[in-house]
């Protein structure tokens, strides 16, 4: 058993002083308050928070940070540049890049990530000798970086949707596709859960699965957590209405995908009926504020979803920013901009979005400092130039990922004094990006 003595810790009710967290076999076995440090305790300064959950990630999109802004454009022109990145990725370069990106996440305070994985095969859609080589690269990268992973293995069968119906795959998209739902399922069933990995599922979008395939996909999921991009773009809503006479949410409900294990990613352009359907089905939504503003996607109906009882989680998606504090603040700040009101969400509700709700959407019991939960937590400086003077209970409004000093995953210290066990994260990220850029 290991015990961590925390100067301050955010427990479910409030921030407490002098908290001892006892850990055995990766889980919290005791949470004691108003304690003094004792011999044998690992001491954590600042404020200890539950580990943050990054519920939506595309690791290879990290290559685009700060490289897509010169000529304006929109989501679709950005996508062309994203597709170009895939040409340099194989199992080796994907592992190198993902290890750097996942280490960057850990250093910022993320302790679990949902990787929305659709880059499955080689050029032209030719499977690698191991059909799961790209997924295995992501799993190995997460294990080395010390972050929990839910691999949201993605079914992707068509090249898009316009007024004429579903389009054929283009040359780049062939790498994403298994050709059929049954082929996708056969490949995914060869993957296995572990102590730090969960195998989930994703439908890329209503654009990428024709209606019959979407229904078949819903029928073979079992109890896996399942995610999908939903109503990220107004154009998606228009074409889905033109072809199916339904909104994307309604179309997913028709297929049988809406249930309490489903998460709609982005959920930006929803109708009142969409929100009601999501509420009644128990579905969740994952917002990615830094991506949604970077791509000019829009501001989603966070308050309306929450009022309807829909669980909200958060992700960093394309990694224009990797910072859980920024994503959490983004939800509240976007609401303030569209309503001219402050305090749209209570601090506890915002905190839950960034922690326990994300864990739950990815199939884990974590994100809380309570007995029986996963021993995943982070220590955050309370004396930096960003956090000095900030009330401990309002730390999410002052801190950034740069203030994280220690990260514990499964009771094991992955970051100590700001240094990752793999070494300097700045160097690791730079090397991983260089490895991809130098690939033929």
- The span from the CA of 155 to the CA of 83, in Å, is 17
Q: Residue 103 belongs to what H/E stretch?
A: helix 91-108
| Nearest alpha-carbon partner for 143 in 105, 104, 99 | 99
Q: Are strands 2-10 and 15-24 parallel, antiparallel or unpaired?
A: antiparallel
- The span from the CA of 435 to the CA of 440, in Å, is 10
CB burial of residue 412 (10 Å; 0-12, 13-18, 19+): middle
| Nearest alpha-carbon partner for 147 in 116, 112, 115 | 112
Q: Which residues contact 208 (CB under 8 A, 6 or more apart)?
A: 155, 156, 157, 158, 159, 160, 176
Q: Residue 148 belongs to what H/E stretch?
A: strand 148-155
Positive or negative, the CA dihedral 311, 296, 338, 347 is positive
DSSP symbol at 40: T
Task: Decide if 205 contacts 267 (C-beta within 8 A).
Answer: no
- The span from the CA of 352 to the CA of 394, in Å, is 14
Catalytic residue list: 266, 317
- How is residue 163 written in tokens? 């007024």
């Amino acid at each position: 058993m290991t015990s961590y003595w925390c100067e301050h810790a955010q427990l479910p009710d409030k921030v407490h002083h002098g908290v001892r967290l006892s850990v055995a076999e990766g889980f919290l076995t005791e949470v004691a308050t108003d304690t003094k440090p004792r011999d044998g305790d690992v001491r954590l300064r600042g404020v200890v928070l539950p580990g943050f959950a990054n519920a939506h990630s595309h690791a290879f999109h990290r290559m685009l940070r700060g490289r897509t802004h010169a000529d304006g454009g929109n989501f679709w022109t950005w996508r062309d540049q994203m597709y170009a990145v895939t040409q340099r990725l194989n199992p080796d370069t994907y592992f190198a890049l993902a290890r750097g990106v996942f280490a960057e996440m850990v250093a910022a305070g993320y302790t679990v990530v949902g990787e929305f994985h659709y880059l499955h095969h080689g050029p032209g859609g030719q499977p690698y000798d191991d059909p799961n080589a790209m997924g295995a690269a992501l799993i190995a990268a997460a294990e080395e970086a010390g972050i929990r992973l839910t691999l949201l293995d993605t079914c992707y069968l068509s090249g898009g949707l316009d007024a004429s119906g579903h389009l054929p795959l283009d040359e780049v998209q062939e790498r994403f596709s298994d050709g059929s739902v049954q082929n996708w399922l056969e490949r995914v069933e060869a993957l296995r859960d572990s102590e730090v990995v969960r195998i989930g599922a994703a439908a890329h979008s209503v654009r990428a699965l024709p209606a019959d395939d979407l229904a078949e996909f819903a029928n073979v999921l079992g109890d896996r957590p399942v995610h999908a991009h939903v109503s990220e773009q107004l154009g998606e809503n228009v074409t889905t209405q033109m072809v199916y006479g339904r909104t994307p949410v309604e179309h997913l409900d028709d297929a049988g995908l809406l249930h309490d294990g489903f998460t709609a990613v982005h959920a930006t352009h929803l109708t009142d009926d969409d929100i009601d359907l999501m509420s009644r089905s128990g579905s969740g939504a994952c917002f990615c504020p830094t991506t949604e503003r970077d791509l000019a996607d829009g501001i989603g109906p966070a308050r309306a979803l929450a009022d309807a009882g829909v669980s909200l989680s958060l992700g960093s998606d394309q990694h224009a920013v990797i910072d859980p504090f920024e994503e959490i603040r983004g939800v509240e700040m976007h609401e303030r901009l569209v309503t001219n009101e402050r305090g749209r969400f209570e601090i506890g509700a915002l905190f839950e979005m960034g922690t326990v709700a994300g864990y739950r959407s990815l199939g884990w019991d974590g994100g809380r400092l309570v007995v029986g939960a996963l021993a995943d937590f982070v220590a955050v400086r309370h004396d930096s130039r960003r956090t000095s003077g900030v009330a401990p209970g309002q730390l999410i409004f002052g801190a950034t990922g740069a203030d994280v000093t220690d990260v514990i995953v499964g009771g094991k210290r992955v970051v100590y004094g700001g240094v990752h066990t793999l070494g300097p994260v700045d160097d690791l990220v730079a090397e991983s990006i260089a490895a991809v850029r130098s690939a033929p």
